[in-house]
Amino acid sequence: MKKNKILCFVISFVFSIIILVFFTHTFKSKGVPPHSWSEIVNDWPFFIISGVFIAVMCTWLIDYNKK
């Protein structure tokens, strides 16, 4: 059971960071142009914190739906 939660967390974390970086680099938002790779590297704490938050929520929701 615990192994499944850890695996779910890691997969959710990796995919959430990939999706966040992809959308930040590809699309513009509210008049702000897409970020360059150097801007994305400078904003690494935002992506790590967001990835952890999204992964925790995904893991919790999957565990909550099983009960």
39's enclosing H/E stretch is: helix 37-42
Confidence of residue 53 (pLDDT cuts 50, 70, 90): very high
Q: Reply yes or no on whether the pLDDT at 31 is more than 90.
A: no
The arithmetic mean of pLDDT across residues 3-11, rounded, is 89
Residues 6+ apart with CB under 8 A from 27: 34
- 23 versus 28: the higher-pLDDT residue is 23
What gap in Å lies between CA 21 and CA 50, rounded to an integer?
Answer: 11
The reported pLDDT for the residue numbered 1 is: 66
Confidence of residue 67 (pLDDT cuts 50, 70, 90): low
